[in-house]
Amino acid sequence: RLSFCTKLCYGIGGIPNQVASSATAFYLQLFLLDVAQIPAAQVSLVLFGGKVSGAAADPVAGFFINRSRRTGSGRLMPWVLGCTPFIALAYFFLWFLPPFTNLRGVWYMTFYCLFQALATFFQVPYTALTMLLTPNPRERDSATAYRITMEMAGTLMGATVHGLIVSRAHGPHRCQEAEIPVPDGVSPDALMNVSDLRMRLYSIAAAVVAVTYPVCSGLLRLGVKERPDPSTPASGQGLSFLAGLGLTVRHPPYLKLVVSFLFISAAVQVEQNYLVLFCTHASRLHDHVQRLVLTILISAVLSTPLWEWVLHRFGKKTPAFGICVMVPFAILLAAVPVAPVAYVVAFVSGVSIAVSLLLPWSMLPDVVDDFQLQHQHGPGLETIFYSSYVFFTKLSGASALGISTLSLEFVGYKAGACEQTEEVVVTLKVLIGAVPTCMILTGLCIL
């Protein structure tokens, strides 16, 4: 059995990636379009390229981790600790506004790809660590619930802290005054430094988020002890990565799990990325953006322990239906974009997002156990399962976000504009309602 301290420290280890992912999911697209003022086509390439680099890094991470030997800190923990300082630096420069304008797209493409790749080398061994904490499936599920709960808290922290710091860069009266509002008595010459103010705000937010990496990684190292794999020798020589990958992708339960959550996770990412843009340009909810994001995340955090109880009480099939609860409400928000409806939709969406995140990570250890019962092979197969699962979900998310952002370019989205055309408004409504609905229903049918 795992102690409370072990589970808590294991959960804390997942906070920094979720803090950073939350900030990028809700605000990076808005930052690139309205602050860095990059054309929508380039933003599409940045988002798609970053996601693809993160996805491509998954099998690479699985390959190297699979071949690594066990050290005094374990076989997975050194990868988590080694990536930490480099991720923090890459994340900080992702939100830095360079002085040049012609090559800003290249700048953000470089650091977003670097950040996604390094985050993968952090996340793959961290999530695979679940299999080496304990052989008890119930304790693994409990540790997973702690991780998801803490990651939800990290998601809440990221959106809240980042959003509060940069809120002045997107003030509600910016469009009316064409500048960020300033206190009375400030010289009009100060309005010339709007770009500098925005850069400072985003740099401060980036620095605050970057600090969470070394702090949380240190607590993970202090509180969690990686157990050696009892079924394999300590030398780490087992089935090769390519041979193991070939076996895992042909395992029927794994295929069903991956394909179903390809659609579901992509739907959640699309919903997250376009909520802020939808509230800003397709409705009169720009004053409610921060509170709506907080409602979603608080609802997700509070409902995660409930879903964990449902998993233990009724099994893992029943909670799957909780994912589809957000479908009618997402359509309702697109059709009736008013504040009362938006808050109800935000609450229900948080409940559905919680189970959509908890369920696959609770099912994946069961799939690994099922595979190991049928195939007796060497160490490292848990990293192959986890890395390939993250690879496929990231690839689907990259495709969905790249295509959807490119659609804004086609309908005439103008970077930095206060008012968008009717075609852009309709496109945002489709992206916030119809697109996630279709993907969720497809994923649930497969599941």
DSSP string, 66-127: HHPPPBTTBSSHHHHHHHHHHHHHHHHHHT---S-STTHHHHHHHHHHHHHHHHHHHHHHHH
Going from the C-alpha of 13 to that of each of 51, 127, 347, the distances in angstroms are: 22, 10, 26
The architecture (CATH level 2) of 1-170+191-225 comes to Up-down Bundle (1.20)
What span, in angstroms and rounded, lies between the C-alpha atoms of 63 and 423? 45
Angle (CA) 386-211-155 rounded to 5° is 50
What span, in angstroms and rounded, lies between the C-alpha atoms of 6 and 108? 37
**What pLDDT was estimated at residue 114?**
94
What span, in angstroms and rounded, lies between the C-alpha atoms of 23 and 161? 9
What span, in angstroms and rounded, lies between the C-alpha atoms of 182 and 197? 11
Beta-carbon contacts of residue 337 (< 8 Å; ≥ 6 apart): 278, 282, 283, 284, 285, 429
Same fold, 1-170+191-225 and 241-446: yes
Q: Residue 318 carries which DSSP code?
A: G
What span, in angstroms and rounded, lies between the C-alpha atoms of 245 and 148? 26
**If DSSP codes are grouped into helix, strand and coil, which group holds residue 368?**
helix
**Which amino acid, residue 316?**
K
φ, ψ of residue 377 to 5 degrees: the values are -130, 180
Q: Residue 129 carries which DSSP code?
A: G
For residue 71, list its beta bridge partners: 74
**What pLDDT was estimated at residue 233?**
45
What span, in angstroms and rounded, lies between the C-alpha atoms of 345 and 339? 10
Topology of the domain comprising 241-446: Growth Hormone; Chain: A; (1.20.1250)
What span, in angstroms and rounded, lies between the C-alpha atoms of 9 and 119? 19
Q: Is 173 exposed, middle or buried (0-12, 13-18, 19+ CB in 10 A)?
A: exposed
**Which amino acid, residue 253?**
P
**What pLDDT was estimated at residue 169?**
64
Instruction: List the chain domain ranges.
Output: 1-170+191-225, 241-446
**What pLDDT was estimated at residue 99?**
80
**What pLDDT was estimated at residue 235?**
41
Q: Residue 220 carries which DSSP code?
A: H
Instruction: Give the DSSP H or E segment for 325.
Output: none
Spell out the per-residue pLDDT of the chain, length 447, in tens: 888 888 888 989 989 998 998 888 878 888 888 788 888 788 888 888 888 888 888 888 877 877 777 777 778 888 889 999 999 999 999 988 888 878 888 999 999 999 999 998 998 888 888 877 888 878 888 888 888 888 888 888 888 888 888 876 655 545 554 444 545 554 545 444 566 777 788 889 899 999 999 999 999 988 888 777 654 544 444 566 677 778 888 889 999 999 998 899 888 888 877 877 788 777 777 778 778 888 888 888 888 888 888 888 888 888 888 888 888 888 888 888 888 888 988 898 888 888 888 888 888 888 888 888 887 655 557 777 877 887 888 788 777 777 777 888 788 877 666 777 888 888 888 888 888 889 899 999 998
